[in-house]
């Protein structure tokens, strides 16, 4: 079976978030199951030939490799992709994103035929590639080369839909009649994700709970009606982790490697190095809370800012790594300046620091107000770092509340989205941290969680087979 992944980001080539992690790791897990997988990705400026050997096939496409034999095709177009960043720069999203990603979708389809690739399933990801199922049916359908190809659209985050002004519609090269409420039209604008949901043979999303949530008004981001109309084709499959990239026993980016057998001292060593790197005083007996993520409303930065003052008054430290909204950066900087011994911040996208925070923190704060799956809490658990999360989406599917009597569970969940409820849970975590025996049992529980891709990749393999 030949599976083609089409995505706007893939680790280790380019990454802005979990989408890249998933599109780098799931193909590897499918390859281990014996499937033929290839990947299509735009050839961005950040993909450096000295890090990833590139073979130029022709003017439209170059090739590199992932895993044993996964061919990674990079669609070339300097005017669209040879710029800073993937989707925008400091002033915001690029105004020609519709053009950039429709080009990617169309070229990808054309290159298949040009290279005579055998494609059984095309697995698309988010709005950037949602045009592929539409093009396959509306533009390429009459060509027998494309007959029988089945389409899967994976929604990583429904909050990003690819919405563009109606005037840009001719750029898509599709019939005018398709601009209607049953296809592209969304309150007078173009909505690429909506059209992709309608045209795909199968829609998947990244956790079971999120699959249900997005069919409700509260989490449906205006597409709950469309999603409900396709409820029989929607399935939630939990994301996994690349357990080679995220492995405290082998991680080359952390100060001291450790396992569930020797974490007690070695994790402390990572904590000391982390504190030093963030210029915080070393304090073994107090917990360090980490945060790694986009500085956005979704990730709960507003809520975090509301409890930070109270947290800084307790015996603990907080370390924040992220990029995002200016307002959040300003307020976090202020907090850190006011509490130099307690709070440290770094505004960057920095893979190494992220690994060091997962390894060196005792707990990870993840108060997302919605979270399709969330990888950070799973990574934290793999590093024996205990997540404190809001009970939503994939966070609710992966974090089990720790019960200090039965000693069952792997983290802390708050159920009411208020600063008070968040703070109560943080205080509960601090209390458990103070009881060394209980906390080390909790860390052991975390190490026992299995978030590898193996199980979910098997579910995808069955889903592909059923589609064919
Ligand atoms: P998202 O909604 O952003 O995709 P996820 O939790 O699914 O959130 O995945 C986020 C991924 O991006 C994780 O691998 C996390 O470690 C990484 N990440 C987020 N922010 C940063 C950052 N500032 N520096 C390094 N890695 C980051």
Mean pLDDT by 10 residues, the chain (468 residues): 97 97 98 97 95 95 96 98 94 95 98 97 98 97 95 98 98 96 96 98 98 97 97 97 96 98 96 98 93 97 97 96 96 98 97 98 98 98 98 98 97 98 98 97 98 95 97
Residue of 64, 185, 195, 191 whose CA lies nearest to 136: 195
User: Which atom of ligand 1 is nearest to 358's Cα?
Assistant: 16
At 260 the pLDDT is 96
Q: How far is the CA of 285 from the centre of ligand 1 (A)?
A: 28
Please name the helix (run of DSSP H) or strand (run of DSSP E) that holds residue 320, with its range, or none. strand 317-321
At 90 the pLDDT is 84
Strand 189-191 relative to strand 185-186, pairing: antiparallel
Residue of 317, 433, 294 whose CA lies nearest to 376: 294
At 283 the pLDDT is 84
Q: 426, 388 in Cβ contact below 8 A?
A: yes
Domains belonging to the chain, first-starting first, are 2-240+453-467 (3.40.50.2000), 263-447 (3.40.50.2000)
Q: How far is the CA of 15 from the centre of ligand 1 (A)?
A: 9
Give me the sign of the Cα torsion angle 281, 286, 292, 293.
negative
Coil, helix or strand for 202?
A: strand
At 268 the pLDDT is 96
Could you say which DSSP state residue 452 is in? B
The first and second tokens of residue 8, run together, are 């706007």
Contacts of residues 299-305 at CB distance under 8 Å and 24 or more positions apart, as own/partner, are 299/324, 299/366, 299/367, 299/368, 300/366, 300/367, 300/368, 300/369, 300/390, 301/325, 301/328, 301/332, 302/328, 303/367, 303/369, 303/417, 303/419, 303/422, 304/365, 304/367, 305/331, 305/332, 305/335
Q: How far is the CA of 446 from the centre of ligand 1 (A)?
A: 20
Please name the helix (run of DSSP H) or strand (run of DSSP E) that holds residue 63, with its range, or none. strand 61-66
The residue whose CA has the least distance to atom 17 of ligand 1 is 17
Q: Best substitution site from 354, 368, 393, 451 to test ligand 1's pocket, by max atoms within 8 Å of Cβ?
A: 354
At 58 the pLDDT is 96
Q: How far is the CA of 349 from the centre of ligand 1 (A)?
A: 9
Q: Best substitution site from 158, 293, 298, 385 to test ligand 1's pocket, by max atoms within 8 Å of Cβ?
A: 293
At 284 the pLDDT is 83
Q: Which residues pair with 236 in a beta bridge?
A: 205
Ligand 1 binding pocket (C-beta < 6 A) is 17-19, 21, 157, 292-294, 321-323, 349-351, 354, 373-376, 379
At 157 the pLDDT is 98
């Amino acid at each position: 079976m030949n599976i083609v992944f089409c995505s706007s980001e893939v680790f280790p080539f380019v990454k802005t978030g979990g989408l890249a992690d998933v599109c780098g790791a799931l193909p590897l897990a499918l390859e281990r199951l014996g499937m033929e997988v290839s990947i299509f990705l735009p050839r961005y400026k950040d993909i450096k030939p000295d890090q990833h050997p590139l073979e130029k096939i022709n003017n439209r496409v170059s090739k590199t490799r992932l895993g044993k034999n996964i061919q990674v095709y990079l669609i070339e177009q300097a005017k669209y992709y040879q710029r800073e960043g993937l989707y925008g720069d400091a002033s915001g999203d690029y105004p020609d994103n519709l053009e950039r990603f429709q080009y990617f979708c169309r070229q990808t389809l054309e290159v298949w035929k040009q290279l005579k690739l055998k494609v059984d399933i095309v697995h698309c990801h988010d709005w950037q590639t949602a045009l592929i199922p539409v093009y396959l049916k509306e533009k390429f359908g009459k060509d027998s080369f494309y007959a029988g190809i089945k389409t899967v659209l994976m929604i990583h985050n429904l909050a990003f839909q690819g919405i563009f002004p109606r005037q840009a519609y001719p750029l898509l090269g599709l019939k005018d009649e398709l601009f209607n409420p049953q296809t592209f039209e969304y309150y007078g604008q173009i909505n690429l994700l909506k059209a992709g949901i309608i045209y795909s043979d199968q829609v998947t999303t990244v956790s079971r709970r999120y699959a249900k949530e997005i069919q409700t008004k509260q989490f449906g981001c205006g597409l709950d009606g469309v999603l409900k109309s396709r409820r029989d084709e929607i399935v939630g499959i939990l994301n996994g982790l690349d357990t080679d990239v995220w492995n405290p026993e082998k991680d080359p980016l952390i100060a001291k490697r450790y396992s569930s057998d020797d974490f007690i001292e070695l994790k402390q060593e990572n904590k000391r190095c982390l504190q030093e790197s963030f210029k915080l005083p070393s304090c073994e007996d107090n917990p360090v809370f980490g945060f790694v993520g986009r500085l956005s409303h979704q990730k709960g930065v507003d809520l975090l800012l509301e409890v930070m003052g109270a947290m800084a008054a307790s015996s603990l430290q907080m370390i924040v790594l992220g990029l995002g909204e200016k307002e959040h950066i300003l307020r976090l900087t202020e907090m850190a300046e006011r509490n130099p011994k307690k709070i440290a911040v770094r505004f960057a996208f920095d893979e190494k620091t992220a690994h060091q925070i997962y390894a060196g923190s005792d707990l990870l704060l993840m108060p997302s107000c919605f979270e399709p799956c969330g990888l950070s809490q799973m990574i934290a658990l793999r590093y024996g770092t205990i997540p404190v999360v809001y009970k939503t989406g994939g966070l609710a599917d992966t974090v089990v509340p720790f019960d200090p009597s039965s000693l069952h569970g792997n983290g802390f969940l708050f159920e009411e989205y208020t600063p008070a409820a968040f703070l109560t849970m943080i205080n509960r975590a601090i209390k458990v941290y103070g009881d060394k025996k209980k906390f080390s049992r909790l860390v052991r529980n975390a190490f026992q969680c299995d978030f590898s891709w193996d199980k979910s990749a098997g579910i995808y393999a069955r889903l592909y087979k059923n589609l064919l």
